[in-house]
Amino acid sequence: MKKKFVIWTLVLFSLYGLLLGLYLFQWADFGVPDAYKGTAADPTTFMTDRQLELAEDYSRYKDFLSFITEPLEWVIYLGVMVFGISLIFKQFSEQASRFKIIQIPLYVLLLQTVTTIILFPFDYISRRLSISYGISTQSFSSWMRDELIGFWVGFVIMAILITVLYWLMNKFRKRWWLYAWMLLVPFLVFMMFIQPVVIDPLYNDFTELQDKQLEEKILGLASQADIPAERVYEVNMSEKTNSMNAYVNGIGSNLRIVLWDTTLNRLKDNEVLFIMAHEIGHYVMNHLYMNLLGVIASSFVGLFLAYHLMHYTMRKWGEKWKVKDVSDIAALPVFFLLLSLLSFIASPVELAISRNAEKAADEYAIQMTEDPEAAVGSFQELTVNGLSEVNPPALVKYLRYGHPTMMERIHMLEQYQEEKQE
């Protein structure tokens, strides 16, 4: 079984990489349709030839790396089962302590460590790619610090979730998935509440917006939308990236309006206001809560399917893997594998819903600010600074894009401007 696994992995992965490379570097067209040429959505009207060349190359390499890395996680989880590494992790954790509350987090730590080490070269290549194209400005020490923070934050959260999950598996043999989902709901709400004030500050320094005149204008927009915000936060992202961003996150008293300092440095005030109006639109249309409901609903379906698929998988391969039961911690990689596959299958639908929400936020922002010129300028500047592709290949759009393409977004703004002038 081990030999077959290695051979099939090498054959399928090589074929996948070849087809992916041909699609992105040979078959896919990065240009815009004739109908958009010469318009504000045409990158040749606001980018230099060099910028166009860099954007196309960067997009191809970035997309290739992203697509090639995703199935690697599946291979790792399956390989851990096939080669008996999961059993070794289980035995080590059992020798370390006789208490499940120690054994399970220790197993999670071992599995996460191996996964992180194997995927680390690809993360590093992604970083080097971003630096070479002038997107990332982050030093290696700073990047490693963020990686380590992410590792330990992820471990703590996952250790808690998996410890509770396996307690439920052992106590409720047929309904563990349902009770796990019921406990997951308040946990997701709690995480949404603490994210802006506990987790985000671990990575970056947040301060009150220094430009008080701009803050007053942004809070004015927030007031029109009945957003209970008393201040706007600025985050020092320029030491890490040249990309720009802004967002509204959190719920209740922890809701925050946040601007990256790169956005402040590169956009005019009216362009910043459009970007913030877009983020405010998400709040007004309850996209934050709709996203939460979407995660809750998808987790219900995911856990239900994982329950049945786990039992099927254990019946078919459990004996070969020497894992007798679903509730055995050694079966955890199978659970992760199934959830990852289910998430991948659901991603086109989730991304389509996200693109629709982003389009609605764009429409809200332009109606609120009534400044199409500033809106178009902000999107063009975002494209230039991020070396973004305005019209990505179909496979990239439907499997990676949670926003409409820049071509679609700018075209919508031009249509609004034409309708306004009529």
pLDDT tens, 340-382? 999 999 999 999 999 999 999 999 999 999 899 999 999 999 9
Q: Is residue 306 part of a domain?
A: yes
**Cα 332 to chain center, whole Å?**
23
Catalytic residue, chosen from 200, 362, 381, 408, is 362
363 assigned to active site? no
pLDDT tens, 141-195? 999 999 999 999 999 999 999 999 999 999 998 999 999 999 999 999 999 999 9
Long-range Cβ contacts of 119-123 (<8 Å, 24+ apart): 119/69, 119/72, 119/73, 119/76, 122/65, 122/68, 122/69, 122/72, 123/147
pLDDT at 12 over 80: yes
pLDDT at 1: 73
The residue range of the domain holding 406 is 2-92+175-202+286-421
215 assigned to active site? no
Binned at pLDDT 50, 70 and 90, residue 421 comes out as: low
411 is in an annotated binding site: no
pLDDT at 355: 96
pLDDT at 228: 74
Q: Is residue 146 part of a domain?
A: no
Q: Is residue 312 part of a domain?
A: yes
53 is in an annotated binding site: no
pLDDT tens, 276-326? 999 999 988 989 889 999 999 999 999 999 999 999 999 999 999 999 899
Number of structural domains found in the chain: 1
Q: Residue type for 164, please? A: V
Indicate the angle between helix axes 176-194 and 287-321, nearest 10 degrees: 140
pLDDT at 31: 81
Determine contact, residues 219/232, Cβ cutoff 8 Å. Answer: yes
pLDDT tens, 32-73? 898 899 999 999 999 999 999 999 999 999 999 999 999 999
> Starting from the edge strand earliest in sequence, which strands make up the sheet with 206-208, in order?
206-208, 232-235, 256-260, 246-249
Q: Does the CA dihedral 19-21-22-23 come out positive or negative? A: positive
Residues in Cβ contact with 148 at an 8 Å cutoff, skipping those fewer than 6 apart:
none
Average pLDDT, the chain: 93
Query: Pick the residue with more confidence: 151 or 419?
Result: 151
Determine contact, residues 334/313, Cβ cutoff 8 Å. Answer: yes
Given the DSSP bridges, would you call strands 206-208 and 246-249 parallel, antiparallel or unpaired? Answer: unpaired
Q: Is residue 115 part of a domain?
A: no
pLDDT at 106: 97
Q: Is residue 56 part of a domain?
A: yes
Catalytic residue, chosen from 279, 371, 381, 389, is 279
pLDDT at 422 over 70: no
Structure tokens at 335: 């659970």
User: CA nearest 358: which of 406, 414, 420, 298?
Assistant: 406
Rounded to 5°, angle at Cα 277 from 286 and 138: 100
Collapsed DSSP state (helix, strand, coil) of residue 256: strand
Q: Is residue 263 part of a domain?
A: no
Percent of residues in the chain assigned helix, strand, coil, to nearest 5? 75, 5, 20
Q: Is residue 75 part of a domain?
A: yes
Q: Give the span between the Cα atoms of 210 and 233, in whole angstroms.
A: 9
287 is in an annotated binding site: no
pLDDT tens, 183-218? 999 999 999 999 999 999 999 999 989 899 998 999
User: CA nearest 243: which of 146, 136, 374, 147?
Assistant: 136
pLDDT at 251 over 90: no
Alpha helices in 42-84 (DSSP H): 49-82
pLDDT at 255 over 90: no
Q: Is residue 408 part of a domain?
A: yes
pLDDT tens, 73-132? 999 999 999 999 999 999 999 999 999 999 999 999 999 999 999 999 999 999 999 999
